[in-house]
Chain A
Amino acid sequence: MMAQFVFYIFATVLLFSAAMVITARNPVHAVLFLILAFFNASGLFLLAGAEFLAMLLVIVYVGAVAVLFLFVVMMLDVDFGQLREGFQKYAPLGGCVGGVLFAELVLAFSHWQMAPGRAAPLAAPGLTNTAALGGIIYTHYVLLFQACGLVLLVAMIGAITLTLRERVTGRRQNVTCQHARTRADTLEMLELNLGESVAERGGFLRPKGSYNEIAVPGSFGLVPENPKDDVASNKEKGA
């Protein structure tokens, strides 16, 4: 009875928040409702005894994917009124896509059999569903799993290629170069007699050699244009 009660709570909130995702005026609210929907779906998974999937849903979708959604939506200046203008024009098309997806789901659930031939031994008592999933994914269907990984890898490389820009003016710190610097490389102590000006000796504590030879002008400690030559010239100075 308790489980049924909880199920109806989760299911109601899930449907309500799913509806709010597409009707909310504020895009940030829409994403927050989406997160609530994910959360309730994971609650339903828990009730169904699939605790591993429930936790995975929260960790992957709520903890990572939705954070990035929220990130983007918060930073973008989306005018939802403008987006809403084409609603009536696109409604039939959207309805068709939704109908096709729903029909596919119905077909899949009526005829599809998950992991045929493997389901029986995995339903053995005492086997947690984490172990059962691990057995199916990593032992019996490892090639398919690897293929999925490759698809994701290609998508990732694509995203990186699309967004990577080599900026000429980019100031990037070379950490190795930075760590290799010592006090002796950069500073010298001047001993001054009383009354003698620092200016007469060429200034105060300053980098050895010329400032400009150590780094690109105006960016001290950043990567020089041709690091190798630069390191070599520094070594000559030190010797």
Chain B
Amino acid sequence: MAQFFYHTLVGQICLMLLETLAVLVPLLIGVAYLTLMERKVMAAMQRRRGPNVNGAFGLLQAFADAIKMIVKETVIPAGANRGLFLFAPFLTFSLAMVAWAVIPTGNGLAVANINVGILYLLAISSLGVYGILIAGWASNSKYAFLGGLRSAAQMVSYEVSIGLVIVSVLLAVGSLNLNDIVLAQRHVWFCLPMFPMFVVFFISALAETNRAPFDLPEGESELVAGFFVEYSSLAFGLFFLGEYANMILMSSMVSILFLGGWLPPLGIAPLTWIPGPLWLIFKILFCLFVFIWVRATFPRYRYDQLMRLGWKVFLPFSLLWMIGTAGFLMVTGLLPHSGGVN
């Protein structure tokens, strides 16, 4: 068996497919239950019951929604650019999936443990804007177009501070490999020494995934539903899935960069009995809960406030913090030397 999987081409391809399925199937189930979790948590915060009809505690609600969405008719607007109109949701969805290739769920447990893992994540998340921009343009509708433009400007702005936050973490790690980033947090999670960066990253993650209070791209009061206003049926469903998968992805990035990934909070006995992947899942769930909590709590930002926060508060602050981190590590001699640079 091992001979087949590791030493023949067909076997390696099969292994790759199995590994991919092992990541994607739990992810999609996670997305389905995230929608339910969001409705349940928000209902609890607003003293309602939330979905409770389909299955026990409404557990089958997500699947009922999915079936409803699939059997609806796909409507393509007459003036739309047909090819691009259909391409946009597939792009959004597949980008949200491929990013998971590098997420380590345990020591060395990733589909692809590559040297530049964090750059890969940054690259994939910066591509996410195209799905939205193309959807907005191809719909040939002014609401969709405005939503797309807003979203593009918003995501590009917040990517800058996300990049700088990541750089300050990388300075302390000395490697771009996600596995190394987690292992560097054996003694202390980065959320403690870099607490302000943790907060900046989390808020930027909210903006990057177009979540409340930064959900201006779909500001329903002025843009109907934003960039996906013309979408229906499965195409809409793909956007929806992509958006929630992105939320989980961003939560896992927060967990890996700041909350010690698969590591337990303390390296002592009862905590180390729980396997690493479960710790990662707990941390992701915690981040998702905060995502939902924020949505249930804060009103939407105005667009100029959003831009001001990104460019005039987060960017200078994270730049300053990055320089401060570099200076501190240099002075104390803690700067990690990777790959033996002379």
Residues on A facing B (Cβ under 8 Å): 2, 28, 32, 35, 51-52, 55-56, 58-59, 62-64, 67-68, 70-71, 74-75, 121, 124, 126-128, 130-132, 134-135, 139, 173, 175
Contacts and interface: CB of A to CB of B under 8 A. Distances in A.
Which secondary structure dominates where chain A touches chain B? helix
A74 B147 CA distance: 13
B340 A126 contact: yes
Contact of B114 (A51, A64, A127, A132): A51
Contact of A64 (B84, B159, B308): B159
B122 A127 contact: no
Interface string B137-161: 1000000010001001100100100
A71 B148 CA distance: 10
Interface of B: 9, 84, 114-116, 119-120, 122-123, 126-127, 129-130, 133-134, 137, 145, 149, 152-153, 156, 159, 163, 176, 304, 308, 338-342
B134 A32 contact: yes
Contacts of B340: 124, 126-127, 131
A155 B149 CA distance: 25
Which secondary structure dominates where chain B touches chain A? helix
A67 B133 contact: yes
A128 B338 contact: yes
Given A35-B130, A130-B176, A135-B342, A71 B149 contact: yes
Contact of B339 (A28, A67, A128): A128
9 contacts: A56-B119, A58-B126, A58-B127, A59-B119, A59-B122, A62-B127, A63-B122, A63-B127, A70-B133
Contacts of B116: 51-52, 55, 130
A120 B116 CA distance: 23
Contacts, number: 83
A91 to B, nearest CB: 30
B149 A55 contact: no
B75 to A, nearest CB: 22
B122 A67 contact: no
Contact of A130 (B115, B123, B308): B115
B147 to A, nearest CB: 13
B8 to A, nearest CB: 13
B123 A59 contact: yes
A74 B123 contact: no
Given A62-B126, A121-B342, A67 B152 contact: yes
Contacts of B134: 32
Contacts of B153: 71
Nearest to A131: B339
B119 A52 contact: yes
B342 A75 contact: no
A139 B120 CA distance: 25
Given A52-B116, A67-B129, A131-B341, 11 more contacts: A55-B119, A58-B123, A62-B127, A64-B159, A67-B152, A70-B133, A71-B153, A126-B340, A135-B342, A139-B341, A175-B308
Contacts of A126: 339-340
Contacts of B339: 126-128, 130-132
Given A128-B338, A135-B341, A63 B115 contact: no
Nearest to B118: A55
Nearest to B136: A74
A145 B100 CA distance: 35
A135 B84 CA distance: 43
Given A52-B116, A55-B116, A63 B126 contact: yes
B304 A63 contact: no
B120 A75 contact: no
A25 B30 CA distance: 43
A173 B304 contact: yes
Contacts of B152: 67, 70-71
B14 to A, nearest CB: 15
A51 B112 CA distance: 13
Contacts of B126: 58-59, 62-64
